[in-house]
Structure 1
Amino acid sequence: MMEFLDAVDSILYYPILLVVMGAAGLYFSFRMGFVQVRMLPEALRLLMVKPKDGGTSPFQALMVSTASCVGTGNIIGVSTAICLGGPGAIFWMTVMAIIGAASSFTECTLAQVFKRKRPDGSAYGGPAYYIEDALHNKALATAFAVFLLLTYSCGFNLLCSYNTQSTFSVYSFYDPAVTPAIIGAILAALVGACVMGGAKSIEKAAGILVPFMGVAYVIVSIVVLVMNFGELPRVLETIMADAFNFKAIFSGIGGSCLVMGIKRGLYSNEAGVGSAPNAAAAASTTHPVKQGLVQMLSVYIDTVILCNATALMCLVSEVPGNAENAGAVWVQTSLHKVLGNFGPWFITVAMLLFSFTTLIGNIYYCENGLAYLNHKKMPGSGFMKAFKLYAVLIVFVGAIIPMAAAWDLADIMMGGMTLINLTACVLLGSVVVKAYEDYRMQKAAGLDPHFKGTALGLKPEELDFWK
């Protein structure tokens, strides 16, 4: 089974996803004049705009999506990529993130354009909805929703839980036969207590924890880099030399820094995967492009800032990374050399906070997928309680399974989501381009942009909002 999972995982990411993700990101970048760079100041300005109707704010929607993607991938994913692929992986991870930010803008803008309205006036939506409403392909939309549920209720939760318990392996009290189960049980209980409160409690928890943990992580990273400032030129030279060692890359491309950087980067920032649009659709805004711009900030926060922080902290320590210490061990050993006993404990606490917000963010996405499969309405309270108990059980199971199985299952499920979503985004790219041009025209005229879908040629029957 492991050989089969490894084979599927390898083929899916090279060449299929590597080509599809790169081509889609570049396509959106060129069609909209590198919106992810040109409109970055505007995205930062829009971040703190509050909705007038009291609905989900752009900031809250961003924090929910960031809660899911900012997590164990920023520590374990980066460590695994560098230990298995080489230091050049962080360069390709960053490049793909910046290119992928255009895909993130596209998918989140589409989610806003085709979002649905609940009886209470609140909004919901995501790739399953724009695939059905705009492409009129219910079968493909259903396939996406199934992949979303498998990815976020199973694959990612298994991996997140495993990665969290692995951070305790460096301590003397760690017993491989007992400790993982204890940590898994505690983590499952905490997640269960939170998610039983519903979507609003998830938004509230994410809005508090995500900024706190992100700022704390960046502060510690800056301290480490200042303490080792003289090592930075050597580290940057090592990263660039490895990133452009094409002889080494093409002699073993499946495990090269190029592929490992892209694979672990996708797991970390989820640009184009189709997860963030589920949160983006809930935001209350006057123009879809506003939330598309805000949501693409998640990619910058996740990869450009946090993933690079992890990589540089570890590389300046000069602790060698290899297959044996890939994961939490390399990060904790590196920080122990620089910060003493505080280093491993800080990573453990960061992983606990990261994993907690990731897990509750994942279940938020699952609620959206379940609603789609249940004829566009939330299942009954009894079913939802049972589903949440299942998701909590998966958290426990993840703590006690092998690392390779956790990574492969998460990669394959995420890959299925990405292929379906990016195909839909390319086919619907003209809708986003028109919306983006409309936004820029209104801004140039000194207006606060407001969107009317029918004015851009969209059919009224395809829209719940923006008519």
Structure 2
Amino acid sequence: MEFIEGIVSLLNNLLWSYVLIIILLGLGLYFTIRSGFVQFSIREMIRVITDKRVYTGSKGKNRKGTSSFQAFAISAASRVGTGNMAGVASAVALGGPGALFWMWLIALLGAASGFVESTLAQVYKVKDKNLYRGGPAYYIEKGLKSRSLGVVFAVTITFTYGLVFNSVQSNTIGLAFYDQFAVSPIVMAILLTILTALVVFGGIRSIASVSQIIVPVMAIIYILLAVFILILNIGAIPEIISIIFANAFGIEQVAGGGFGAAIMMGVKRGLFSNEAGMGAAPNAAATADVTHPVKQGLVQALGVFFDTLLICSATGFIIIAAGGFAGSDVDGIQITQAAFSQLLGNWAGGFIAIAIFLFAFSSILGNYYYGESNIYYIKESRMALFVYRIIVLVMIIFGTLASFDFVWALADLTMAIMALINLYAIARLFKIAKIALDDYRTQRKAGKDPVFHQHTLPNQAGIESWETKKRSP
């Protein structure tokens, strides 16, 4: 095991120190400028997330895909959870308060990458009975004409989300309940396995329904509680902001090596939390039944802000206010629990344990769906899907019992590999997303509710879910 941990650590240092940070920030900046700062179209994002108009086609037949909001909830189920509470805590503990600034930056720039990947997922989505499926594997095959690379991505995301990330989620739940209620990790592993099995064998619609209820409610409760804590400590907020920026750019941090740690941990945990550019959210975005691909691109970009700028920031501020970023002898979620307990009382630690259970469990469901969608891409096999579901349950048990450091290191490595493949694909296909965006803006300026036609694109090869002939909206 020590040998495997050493290899994982070596590869992580190589990828995250020299490759991913440059590519993530560089492409995010490129997409931001070329798209005309599309990720800051907040008013339009809010308008389209409540849009109930569906793409019926000339025959007037609705394919009954998930709604725009349900697709948002599925991806939010994976975004909102461990990364916001345990990930932020470990970023601040290991990278210092300055890591929070770099999480903000990766969200602001990464939202443009999130827009591009989710718009492409809509453009290249495929029909699957009464649903839609899609994601990076699909736009790699259809847009880049590379089935082999699409399969590589499908295998990578299935392993990363369905298996490794779910072990991170169960590990966090196990730590939280052991720390607060002294619940044995074995007992928690059994409980999580049973609950997950009951839901995942129900299929995508049960995942969408459960996520749509759990995520918004728990996010609102958590944010309200965090705001309440910050109001109680309102006088400390200017100092907290000062600490964040001082640690992000301070000369002392640069000289002591803390500058690099802040960037690396901020980018790592920021990407884990908001997933912008990683290639996960497009799998959910593709299921939405909307009249124009750009609508779902905007919705998913909003999800990045919702995740990082709201929930991650609230967690980070509270941890810093409690002074829990230096010399912590506990891991991840336990740091967050300690901060809440210090500022509100012991009962708050129990609330965090329950909240992380619901957040992380909804993440397990969202992660599972990403794997299921990509298994269907590789081969439609009931046996393969059944085996995948069983392995998911095994990894939940493994994650609950494994060490904090190892499951997070493994997640960092698989996440890096997956992101590199997806970023390569969306960089090459950006021109398609840009044409769709220009078409959307033209229709909006004309006072229309935009409807997409595939003849808008110069090359329509590989596009099968949008009609060629122009029709009245």
TM-score when normalising by structure 2: 0.94
C-alpha distance in 1, partners of 2:226/2:204? 32
C-alpha distance in 2, partners of 1:103/1:457? 22
Whether the aligned pair in 2 keeps the contact of 1:50 and 1:58 (CA below 8 Å) is yes
Of 18, 40, 44, the match for 1:42: 44
Amino acid at match of 2:96: G
C-alpha distance in 2, partners of 1:20/1:451? 31
Counterpart in the other structure of 1:443: 444
C-alpha distance in 2, partners of 1:99/1:248? 24
Distance 1:249-1:156 versus aligned 2 partners, 3 A rule: farther
For 1:300-322, what per-residue CA distance to the aligned partner results, in whole angstroms no more than 9, with x for missing partners? 11111000010111222234533
C-alpha distance in 2, partners of 1:86/1:283? 39
Amino acid at match of 1:131: I
Unaligned runs of 5+ in 1: none
How far residue 189 of structure 1 moved from its aligned partner, in angstroms, is 1.0
Distance 1:2-1:255 versus aligned 2 partners, 3 A rule: farther
C-alpha distance in 2, partners of 1:163/1:229? 30
For 1:269-320, what per-residue CA distance to the aligned partner results, in whole angstroms no more than 9, with x for missing partners? 1000000000111100111001100111110111110000101112222345
* Greater Cα offset, 324-333 or 407-416: 324-333
Report the secondary structure of 2:276's partner residue. Answer: coil
How far residue 171 of structure 1 moved from its aligned partner, in angstroms, is 3.5
Distance 1:212-1:235 versus aligned 2 partners, 3 A rule: same
Counterpart in the other structure of 2:214: 209
C-alpha distance in 2, partners of 1:461/1:6? 39
Unaligned runs of 5+ in 2: 55-61, 469-473
For 1:144-194, what per-residue CA distance to the aligned partner results, in whole angstroms no more than 9, with x for missing partners? 1111011012110111111111112433635xxxx1111111111111111
Aligned length: 457
Of 20, 25, 33, the match for 2:23: 20
Of 88, 99, 123, the match for 1:113: 123
Amino acid at match of 1:393: V
Of 170, 179, 183, the match for 1:170: 179
Whether the aligned pair in 2 keeps the contact of 1:249 and 1:257 (CA below 8 Å) is no
Counterpart in the other structure of 1:372: 377
Counterpart in the other structure of 1:157: 166
For 1:74-121, what per-residue CA distance to the aligned partner results, in whole angstroms no more than 9, with x for missing partners? 01100000000100101110111110000000000000001111233x
Q: Would you identify which runs of 4 or more consecutive aligned residues in structure 1 move more than 4 Å?
A: none
Q: State the Cα RMSD in Å.
A: 1.6
Match runs of 1:247-326 below 5 Å: 248-249=253-254, 251-252=256-257, 256-326=261-331
How far residue 459 of structure 1 moved from its aligned partner, in angstroms, is 2.0
How far residue 35 of structure 1 moved from its aligned partner, in angstroms, is 0.5
* Greater Cα offset, 8-17 or 311-320: 311-320
C-alpha distance in 1, partners of 2:273/2:195? 23
Report the secondary structure of 1:318's partner residue. Answer: coil
Counterpart in the other structure of 2:88: 78
C-alpha distance in 2, partners of 1:22/1:200? 35
Match runs of 1:285-434 below 5 Å: 285-374=290-379, 378-380=380-382, 382-434=383-435
Amino acid at match of 1:434: I
Whether the aligned pair in 1 keeps the contact of 2:127 and 2:133 (CA below 8 Å) is yes
- Percent same amino acid at aligned positions? 38
Counterpart in the other structure of 2:454: 453
C-alpha distance in 1, partners of 2:258/2:317? 24
Report the secondary structure of 2:401's partner residue. Answer: coil
Report the secondary structure of 1:75's partner residue. Answer: helix
For 1:193-248, what per-residue CA distance to the aligned partner results, in whole angstroms no more than 9, with x for missing partners? 11110111001001111101110010100110011111111111111100112552
C-alpha distance in 1, partners of 2:284/2:179? 36
Alignment pair present for 1:96 and 2:98: no
Distance 1:250-1:296 versus aligned 2 partners, 3 A rule: farther
Report the secondary structure of 1:123's partner residue. Answer: strand
C-alpha distance in 2, partners of 1:32/1:250? 37
C-alpha distance in 2, partners of 1:329/1:277? 31
* Greater Cα offset, 254-263 or 9-18: 254-263
How far residue 461 of structure 1 moved from its aligned partner, in angstroms, is 4.6
Report the secondary structure of 2:92's partner residue. Answer: helix
C-alpha distance in 2, partners of 1:130/1:320? 41
Report the secondary structure of 1:260's partner residue. Answer: helix
Whether the aligned pair in 1 keeps the contact of 2:99 and 2:248 (CA below 8 Å) is yes
How far residue 408 of structure 1 moved from its aligned partner, in angstroms, is 1.2
How far residue 328 of structure 1 moved from its aligned partner, in angstroms, is 1.8
Amino acid at match of 1:361: G
Counterpart in the other structure of 1:5: 8
Whether the aligned pair in 2 keeps the contact of 1:84 and 1:326 (CA below 8 Å) is no
C-alpha distance in 2, partners of 1:308/1:230? 17
How far residue 463 of structure 1 moved from its aligned partner, in angstroms, is 3.2
Counterpart in the other structure of 1:55: 65
Counterpart in the other structure of 1:199: 204
Amino acid at match of 1:72: T
Amino acid at match of 2:8: L
Whether the aligned pair in 2 keeps the contact of 1:84 and 1:322 (CA below 8 Å) is no
TM-score when normalising by structure 1: 0.95
